[in-house]
């Protein structure tokens, strides 16, 4: 079934509640990176073109105690949005009450309101994050139409993304926005991927990726494993990994995967190794069988890079989660960058899934050249695990 989008609804003069993802980094009251705000503009502009009354919701950070309120105030987003749109965005500093209700009552077509951080409701009783029934019903009562355009939280059932559409008066008036539409379109091509279909997995812990590995090992032709997580697989194969990262609780899982699907798993054969986890010390390149007890591998080595490239050469679909080395240290980001560039230079249909690898692609200027860089870390991973996303399911109902 095709999921409904904002294009499918009549929104003229309607009060349109849009759940955006404005969870942007803010330092000293200033927005450090406005990518997510820019990403929401297509849906907002479309709603304005169609003469809707636009009411925006978003979370920002986590609110656990009183002191979290100030640093997670959404007001800077309203200012930024006003300047990007070239029109006033009225900020309501609370999540409920007379001021909000009056402001909505007095809206004209093409007016925009941004409601305070939905997680202010978490301060007492975690109402937003637990999808409190009363809260979802209250927010739903404020509008006629609900649009979910926050992919990053689609794997969570919160009041602002699942509660509102559940309680909306006319439940046929719910749809997704353009940002989620784009994400789903890109990820859906992984349902029946053109083959060879190669998965690249890196990052720190196997535990976090067990669901992804279990699901993708059935679908992919090969899974190339780098990053810290490769060492748990290598340990399971009987190699000495020195002081390299080990996720000991996942060794049995790795053994099982290697036994049952070993022909699909490609592990590194060499590494950039060092004795200290710093950028200062020089590293050496060593084969996996030569690591001493004092050494740790912080990036894949050149032989591994070529090995991975040989599997990617004819790939028709690639999905990549997690860096192949300690990306935060300049010396150990090299091979992640090289492989990213290889994919772009060879025009291989690549989907980057998750914050770290998208950030890496951004820094080496290839983010806009890949087929898709997915914005929702947790949501993308759960999608890759084959799980249903509640924020999408509720629209599908």
* 41 and 90 Cβ atoms separated by less than 8 Å: no
Among candidate residues 79, 303, 341, 355, the one labeled active-site is: 355
Going by C-alpha positions, the residue among 317, 315, 284 that lies closest to residue 298 is 284
Q: How far is the CB of 204 from ligand AMP (least distance, A)?
A: 4
User: At closest approach, how far in Å is the CB of 123 from ligand AMP?
Assistant: 28
Catalytic option among 205, 255, 331, 369: 205
SS3 at position 159: helix
Closest CA to 251 of 288, 200, 294, 206: 206
What is the smallest separation between the CB atom of 24 and ligand AMP, expressed in angstroms?
20
281-296 burial string, b = 16+ CB within 10 Å, else e?
eebebbebeebeeebb
DSSP state for residue 376 in the 8-state scheme: -
With CA atoms as reference, report the closest residue to 40 among 87, 81, 83: 81
Cα–Cα dist 381/264, whole Å: 20
CB 283 within 8 A of CB 291: no
| 93 or 377: CB nearest ligand AMP | 377
Confirm if 153 and 164 have CB atoms less than 8 A apart. no
**Least distance CB 286 / ligand AMP (angstroms):** 13
Backbone phi and psi for residue 138, each to the nearest 5 degrees, phi listed first: -65, -50
Where do contacts with ligand AMP occur on this chain (CB under 6 A)?
202-205, 208, 227-228, 245, 297-298, 322-323, 325-328, 356
- Shortest Å distance, C-beta 273 to ligand AMP: 10
Nearest CA among 146, 156, 141, 184 for reference residue 47 = 146
Distance of CA 104 to the CA centre of its chain: 31
- Shorter beta-carbon distance to ligand AMP: residue 40 or 241: 241
Residue 15 dihedral angles phi and psi, to the nearest 5°: -85, 105
Q: Which of 61, 211, 377, 378 is an active site residue?
A: 378
Q: What torsion do the CA atoms of 173, 174, 177, 183 make, to the nearest 10 degrees?
A: -150
- Rounded CA gap, 72 and 215, in Å? 36
- Active site (annotated) includes residue 209: no
Q: Is 377 a catalytic residue?
A: no
Active site residue 378: yes
Separation between Cα atoms, residue 80 and residue 97, nearest integer Å: 25
The one catalytic residue in 36, 80, 156, 222 is 36
Nearer to ligand AMP, 173 or 244 (CB): 244
Task: State the minimum distance, in angstroms, from the CB of residue 209 to ligand AMP.
Answer: 7
Residue number, 128 or 356, with CB nearest to ligand AMP: 356
CA dist., res. 193 & res. 318, Å (int) = 9
Pairing of strands 145-148, 90-92: unpaired
Q: Which is nearer to ligand AMP, 164 or 360 (CB)?
A: 360
Closest to ligand AMP by CB, 73 or 244: 244
Query: Nearest approach, Cβ of 184 to ligand AMP (angstroms)?
Result: 22
Q: Which residue minimizes CB distance to ligand AMP?
A: 203
| 119 catalytic residue (yes or no) | no
| Residue number with CB closer to ligand AMP (276 or 328) | 328
Residues labelled as active-site residues: 36, 205, 355, 378
């Amino acid at each position: 079934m095709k999921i409904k989008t904002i294009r499918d609804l009549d929104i003229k003069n309607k009060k349109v509640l849009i759940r955006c993802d404005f969870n942007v980094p803010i330092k000293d009251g200033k927005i450090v990176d406005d990518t997510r705000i820019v990403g929401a503009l297509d849906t907002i502009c479309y709603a304005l073109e169609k003469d809707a009354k636009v009411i925006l919701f978003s979370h920002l950070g986590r609110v656990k105690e009183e002191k979290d309120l100030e640093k997670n105030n959404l007001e800077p987003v309203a200012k930024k949005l006003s300047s990007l749109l070239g029109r006033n965005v009225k900020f309501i500093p609370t999540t409920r009450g007379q001021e909000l209700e009056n402001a909505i009552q007095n809206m004209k077509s093409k007016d925009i309101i941004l409601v305070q951080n939905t997680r202010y409701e978490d301060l007492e009783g975690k109402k937003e994050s637990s999808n409190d029934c009363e809260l979802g019903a209250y927010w739903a009562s404020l509008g006629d139409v609900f649009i979910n355009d926050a992919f990053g939280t689609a794997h969570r059932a919160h009041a602002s993304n699942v509660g509102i559409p559940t309680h909306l008066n006319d439940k046929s008036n719910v749809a997704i926005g353009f940002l989620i539409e784009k994400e789903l379109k890109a990820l859906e091509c992984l349902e029946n991927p053109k083959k060879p279909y190669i998965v690249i997995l890196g990052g720190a812990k196997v535990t976090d990726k067990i669901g992804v590995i279990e699901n993708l090992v059935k679908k992919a032709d090969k899974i190339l494993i780098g990053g810290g997580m490769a060492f748990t697989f290598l340990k399971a194969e009987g190699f000495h990994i020195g002081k390299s990262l080990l996720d000991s609780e996942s060794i049995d899982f790795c053994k099982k995967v290697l036994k049952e699907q070993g022909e699909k798993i490609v592990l590194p054969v060499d590494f950039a190794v060092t004795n200290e986890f710093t950028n200062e010390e020089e590293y050496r390149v060593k084969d996996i069988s030569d690591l001493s007890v004092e050494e740790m591998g912080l990036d894949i080595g050149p032989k591994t890079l070529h090995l991975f490239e040989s599997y990617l050469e004819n790939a028709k679909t690639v999905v990549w989660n997690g860096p192949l080395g300690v990306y935060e240290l300049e010396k150990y980001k090299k091979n992640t960058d090289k492989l990213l560039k290889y994919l772009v230079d060879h025009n291989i249909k690549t989907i980057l899934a998750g914050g770290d690898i998208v950030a890496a692609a951004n820094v080496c200027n290839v983010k806009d050249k890949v087929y898709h860089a997915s914005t929702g870390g947790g949501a993308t991973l759960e999608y890759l695990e084959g799980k249903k996303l509640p924020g999408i399911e509720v629209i599908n109902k």
